[in-house]
Amino acid sequence: MNTQVQTRLSKKLSLLLRHQPELYGLHLDEHGWCSIAELLDAFAKKGQDLSIDLLLEVVQENDKQRFAFSPDGLRIRASQGHSVEVELGYSPEIPPAILYHGTADRFLPSILNVGIIKGKRHQVHLSLDVETAEKVGERHGRVVILKVLAGEMHAIGHTFYRSDNGVWLVDEVPLGYFEVLDLTT
């Protein structure tokens, strides 16, 4: 499949399965699942071609594994990043000592003032490595990478979760538990 087509469809699925299911009349259950049949039908009603084969390809080849199929193969959901109310059902996990957060430099003054907050999303997203954090951050502008002291946060009671695609989630990263990395060296 054409990479451009894949990217467009992935963005559309992110919008519908994370933020605005109502745009296509979709119904997400309390865990964020949507019937694949309902999704395909919604695309057809909008005059947009989406086959089960194309959907499988986009989900399986998505480099960030943003979407997951239910074990029975009848439903789909976004792995994390929702602004609509869902309970993804992830169990708390002990994080690695260090995680990373990529963001745009324009957000840095606010972060240095109040910490890393979830904003409109359910939780703050953290990465295992700098490279992944950079990819996330560069989508929003000139990138800044923050090194998060996840182990220390966990030790004082912050709860961490890991999504199906390996993204670490936490409600906030308070002041004193992160530092700005200098990527110029």
pLDDT, average across residues 9-25: 91
User: Mapping DSSP to helix (H, G, I), strand (E, B) and coil, where does residue 107 land?
Assistant: helix
Question: CB under 8 Å to 156, separation ≥6 — which residues?
Answer: none
Residues in the chain: 185
pLDDT tens column, 32-63: 899 999 999 999 999 988 889 889 988 888 76
Q: Report the C-alpha gap between 40 and 101 in whole angstroms.
A: 34
> How much is the pTM?
0.68
Evaluate if residue 1 carries a pLDDT over 60. no
Q: What is the mean pLDDT of the chain?
A: 88
pLDDT tens column, 82-135: 777 777 778 899 999 999 999 989 999 999 999 999 887 778 999 999 998 998
pLDDT, average across residues 128-152: 90
What is the pLDDT at residue 175?
96
- Token readout for 137 is 């951050």
- Token readout for 78 is 């976004």
List the end-to-end C-alpha distance of the chain, in Å, as a whole number. Answer: 39
DSSP alpha helices (H): ranges in the chain? 3-14, 36-45, 52-61, 108-114, 130-137, 150-155
What is the pLDDT at residue 146?
96
Q: Which domains does the chain have, with CATH numbers?
A: 3-78 (1.10.10.970), 96-180 (3.20.170.30)
Evaluate if residue 180 carries a pLDDT over 90. yes
